[in-house]
Amino acid sequence: MKHFYKDKRNGKIQGVCAGFAYTLDMNITIVRILYIVGLFAAFPVFFIGYFLLAMILNDRVDNKYDSVQKPHHHNDEQQRQRDKSHYLQQLDKLEQHFQLIEKHIDPLEYYVISDEFTLKRKLWELE
């Protein structure tokens, strides 16, 4: 069973109707039309209820790798491969960046653990 969340990505105001549509597997336009009809029928209930739900509900986290949320299509597999390639490239860049940082930190680390640093620190404390 799906949990009920706001879907701000597909929503117009706060994503409550989009969240209902996603949870109930309905067309979002139909849910919006039903909400507008509800506003005409019982304005205070639907109006206040919408904003209460908007404050209470958590945002839906879109996880495109969750096969329960989205049907598995060939295009999804191609997108998954592109995403994987992109993430691997980003990881490589991040690793290079960390190696550069480590290159700059190594001399400092070597100095801090050296006897020279210890001696200078003790002399500084005596002053």
Per-block mean pLDDT, blocks of 10 residues, the chain (127 long):
75 85 86 89 87 84 51 68 87 89 86 86 87
User: What is the structure's pLDDT at 73?
Assistant: 53
Please tell me the distance from the alpha carbon of residue 125 to that of residue 115, in angstroms, as a whole number: 15
pLDDT at position 25 is 85
> Are residues 20 and 31 in contact, defined by beta-carbon separation less than 8 angstroms?
yes
Which residues lie below 8 Å from residue 79, measured CB to CB, with a gap of 6+? 64
Residue 21: per-residue pLDDT? 85
pLDDT digits (tens, 9 = 90+) for 81-109: 888 888 889 889 889 988 988 888 888 88
Please give the pLDDT value at position 63. 56
pLDDT reported for residue 106: 86
Closest CA to 23 of 1, 44, 39, 41: 1
Rounded CA-CA distance 114/108 in Å is 10
Give the pLDDT confidence score for residue 64 in this predicted structure: 52
Through-space distance between the first and last CA atoms of the chain, rounded to whole angstroms: 70
Task: Note whether 104 and 116 are within 8 A (CB).
Answer: no
- Domain ranges in the chain are 1-62, 72-127
What pLDDT does residue 112 have? 83
Burial 22-50 (b: 16+ CB within 10 A, else e): bbeeeebeebbeebeeeeeeeeeebeeeb
